[in-house]
Amino acid sequence: MSICLHYNMESTRRLAAIMFTDIVGYTAMMGSDENLAIKTVTHHKKIIKQFVPKYEGDLIEFYGDGSLSIYSSVTFALECAMAIQMEFQKNITVPLRIGIHIGELLISDGNVFGDGVNIASRIESLGQSGTIMFSEDVFQKIRNNNRFKTQRLGTFEFKNVDEPMQVYVLANEGFPVPKAESITGKLKTSSSKHEFKSFRESDEVSDPIKHKILEKSIAVLPFVNMSSDPEQEFFCEGISEEIINTIVQLPDLRVAGRTSSFYFKGKNEDLRSVGNSLGVSKILEGSVRKSGNRVRITAQLVEASTGFHLWSKKYDRELDDVFKIQDEISAEIANQLKITFAGDQSIPKSRQQTKNIEAYQLYYKGRSLFYQRGMSLFEALQCFRAALEIDPNYALAYTGLADTFVMLSFHGYLSPSECWAEAIPAAQSSFKYGPDLGETHNALAVIALLHDRDLEVAEKEFKRALEINPTNIQARVWYGMFYLAFTQENFVEGIEQFRIATKNDPLSSYAHSCLALTLATGDKLEESIPSGEYAVKLDPNSLIARYNLGYCYLWSGHLNKALQECQIALKISSQHAWILHLVLLTYLKMNLRDEALKIFKKMEARYRDHYLPPSNLAIVAAALGKDEYALKLAHTCLDIIDPYFPFIVTTLKDSEALRKIPGFDKIQERLGFSHHK
């Protein structure tokens, strides 16, 4: 179901935080004390009108005892909600409940359309007086913001919402947290649930790969931001990540990867549990307080199995000394873990790619957004560009720019011509200013593979990236999946790269998800499913994880589960082309050709009127028997250098029908890869 509301704007699409408010018990209030009810709703409207613009919100509409407003960021929406609830606890009490969701809105001809509006209203209906409830999508955006304390209430099935949703409540002091058993609202009855069950986050599933804990092993948890400014979160993450990048060079020390270490951010997990989950014996944790040009960093090294503090130190320095502090902490770790250096080896130094703290912070904010994929890639671009405006010689920011443009094209958000024109010069600049960075060589590798189709250079650059930083999860996954498995069809060695990746980064949803895709493509179908399900458990909002699990289900014959994963992914991604083609293939497997044709028409319209990768349209055209059209699209993919297309030509199961079309051998010849099925 999608809700349409009036709104005075030109036709546009907008990703927004959506806030619904509603007065609890208003109908009963009208029945018992009409004057009080009118006074309450009048005060409600006055405060809403007053507060929404203060937080850069747009008030869309009042309806009876409720309101709808939208915001450019989740943070603004939550801050506004908190201010409103606190105001309503003053002289004139208004028993208000608030629900917040984030979603894409279509604003056209004075109307607002979007499933997100419906979802926000459903979430609000669960509340009690004084509560602020929100979706998993909102939680993921604010989970690293220490101003907001949150509590998960559980999974709920709402009326007119296909997929069950995780719901959270703001748990800051002074805000009520309802008990789960007391919650009522616009929920489905038990008889209206789906007839088949897909994989959910709550399903019992564990890491399919177990790892031994080594004595010389460590995880660096994200340092806690003790400042009032939430933007300092990225500064803190940068410190932790640079320590990881430095100590990974220590001999005979296993260092848990960034993704797994950062998985525990804000979770207050027992350190013994963290150590067991990450397969490490030592944990480095700390905090950062930044004030003006001063910074205080506290670090402590802990024995994971006992919680015993092996070492701790507080650093009060000028902000410019932050890089020296990172080096001192790394040196202390080497000393405490009794690392032995051979020959002329010495304690490695951190990568001082910029001396500008603002540029440093912008880069790590950009990387954090890059890891989220989806529409966050556009926000990441802004961060990398801003960092380069401050420091035009900042090599890491150039690597971020190159990687982001490649992914925007690979995932079909922007045309290849637009992305390659930006990605290639950025990678070249990163090599100019940072030739010894692993990120630089990874950026060069993926461009050599997907743009130049130069396998020799791609292999050399991937190996150099991993030589510099063996825990670089992106380089490891791309080398194992893109190069070894999908291009060279060496699935044995490709899967071995994933064994290394998941050992270094056992809680990386991305690594487990791509392992699942690689296993399934390499005909290890039933083996692929546990990895795919574990990836979704680690990150249920990941489009990549949902798509890859749907792929595994589809080609393993679990068609209902495949379709269910696709339905979830469509909501996460706003009709992503990958998911549309997977839905169409699933419908064909279920002998629902009419439904498949509806998807095909939708994809054709988007390809014609906007942008949709021709690679995805070629897949479905071939599956529907439109051979001539499919071949034409395939040639277009080669003309525009679609980065997704090489794997359609070589290995992916989605494109089996395309590879069987007579004349496809000419496509393979044009591609230039010497190995193909």
Beta carbons of 495 and 471 less than 8 angstroms apart: no
Does the residue 110 lie in any domain? yes
Q: How confident is the model at residue 187 (pLDDT cuts 50, 70, 90)?
A: low
Instruction: Kindly tell me the burial class for residue 229, based on how many C-beta atoms sit within 10 Å of its own C-beta (0-12, 13-18, 19 or more).
Output: exposed
Kindly state whether residues 167 and 67 are assigned to the same domain.
Answer: yes
Q: If pLDDT is split at 50, 70 and 90, which confidence band does 489 have?
A: very high
Of 352, 372, 402, the one marking the end of a domain is 352
Q: Which of 41, 43, 76, 82 is nearest to 58 (CA)?
A: 76
Quick check: is 566 in a domain?
Answer: no
Residues 237 and 105 grouped into a single domain = no
Beta bridge partners of 650: none
Residues 221, 181, single domain; the answer is no
Domain assignment present for residue 539? The answer is no
pLDDT for res 330: 80
pLDDT of residue 572: 75
Q: Tell me if the pTM is above 0.85.
A: no
The pLDDT, as a whole number, for residue 127 is: 86
Statement: residue 121 has pLDDT above 80: yes
Q: Is the pLDDT of residue 547 over 80?
A: yes
Q: How many domains does the chain fold into?
A: 2
Residues 22, 158 share a domain: yes
| pLDDT over threshold 50, residue 4 | no
Token digits of residue 195? 């007839």
Looking at the structure, tell me whether residues 169 and 269 fall in a common domain.
Answer: no
- The reported pLDDT for the residue numbered 444 is 98
Q: What is the pLDDT of residue 195?
A: 29
Residues 326 and 247 placed together within one structural domain of the fold: yes
Task: Give the CA distances from residue 119 to residues 52, 78, 453, in Å, rounded to whole numbers and listed in that order.
Answer: 20, 16, 44
Residue 523 confidence class, pLDDT cut points 50, 70, 90: very high
Residue 402 has pLDDT above 90, yes or no: yes
Average pLDDT over residues 484-503: 93
Lowest mean pLDDT among 66-80, 345-359, 592-606: 345-359
Lowest mean pLDDT among 19-28, 64-73, 180-189, 455-464: 180-189
Band (190; pLDDT cuts 50, 70, 90):
very low
**What's the pLDDT tens digit per position in 74-83?**
999 999 999 9
Q: What is the mean pLDDT of the chain?
A: 85
pLDDT at 198: 45
Cα 96 to Cα 470: distance, rounded to the nearest angstrom: 52
Tell me: pLDDT of 239 over 50.
Answer: yes
pLDDT for the residue numbered 3: 44
Q: Are residues 24 and 113 in the same domain?
A: yes
Q: Please check whether residues 68 and 157 belong to one and the same domain.
A: yes
Which segment of 178-182, 416-420, 585-589 scores lowest on mean pLDDT?
A: 178-182
Residues 193-217, mean pLDDT to the nearest whole number: 54
pLDDT band at residue 352 under the 50/70/90 scheme? low
**pLDDT value, residue 181:** 56
126 and 223 both lie in a single domain: no
Rounded to whole angstroms, the maximal C-alpha distance in the chain is 87
For the residues 27-38, what does the mean pLDDT come to?
76
Mean pLDDT on 33-42: 83
Most confident of 207-216, 316-325, 654-663: 654-663
Asked if the model's pLDDT at residue 454 lies above 60, the reply is yes
Greater confidence (198 vs 466) lies with 466
Among 435, 356, 358, 431, which residue's Cα sits nearest to residue 401?
431
* Better-scored residue on pLDDT, 470 or 554: 554
> Which residue among 352, 383, 410 closes a domain?
352
- Region 88-111: what's the mean pLDDT? 78
Predicted local confidence at residue 14, as pLDDT: 76
H-helix segments, 156-304: 232-247, 258-262, 271-278
Residue type, 592: L
37 occurs within a structural domain: yes
Residues of the chain with pLDDT > 70: what percent? 88
Range 378-392 average pLDDT: 94
Range of the domain at 321: 217-352
| CATH number for the domain harbouring residue 246 | 3.40.50.10610
Local confidence band at 340 (pLDDT 50, 70, 90 cut-offs): low
Tell me the C-alpha to C-alpha distance, in Å, between residue 310 and each of 221, 302, 333, 336: 16, 6, 10, 8
pLDDT score recorded for residue 113? 67
Instruction: Please say if the pLDDT value at position 408 is more than 90.
Output: yes
Q: Over pLDDT 90: what percentage of the chain?
A: 43
What per-residue confidence (pLDDT) applies to 511? 93
Phi first, then psi, for residue 100 (nearest 5°) are -135, 135
Domain-embedded: residue 212: no
> Residues near 648 by Cβ (< 8 Å), separated by ≥ 6?
615, 618, 619, 634, 637, 654, 655, 658
Asked, for residue 579, whether it belongs to a domain, the answer is: no
Going by pLDDT thresholds of 50, 70 and 90, the confidence category of residue 111 is: low
Shared-domain flag, residues 33 and 140? yes
pLDDT of residue 27 exceeding 50:
yes
Q: Is 490 part of any domain?
A: no
pLDDT for residue 9: 44
Domain termination residue (choose one: 352, 380, 407): 352
- Is the confidence at residue 91, as pLDDT, over 80? no
Confidence of residue 292 (pLDDT cuts 50, 70, 90): confident
- Judged by average pLDDT, the poorest of 153-162, 250-259, 527-536, 641-650 is 153-162
- The pLDDT of residue 209: 57
- How far apart (Å, rounded) are the C-alpha atoms in residues 53 and 45? 13
- Length of the chain, in residues: 677
Which pLDDT score is estimated for 202?
44
Q: Give me the CATH number covering residue 70.
A: 3.30.70.1230
Confidence band of 167 (pLDDT split at 50, 70, 90) = confident
Whether residues 68 and 149 share a domain: the answer is: yes
Residue 668 lies in a domain: no
Q: pLDDT-based confidence at 350, cuts 50/70/90?
A: low
Helix (H, G, I), strand (E, B) or coil at 131: coil
| Alpha-carbon distances of 87 from 43, 48, 50, 80, 96, rounded to whole Å | 10, 10, 11, 11, 11
Does 241 lie in the same domain as 159? no
Q: What is the mean pLDDT of residues 123-142?
A: 88
H or E element at residue 286 = strand 282-291
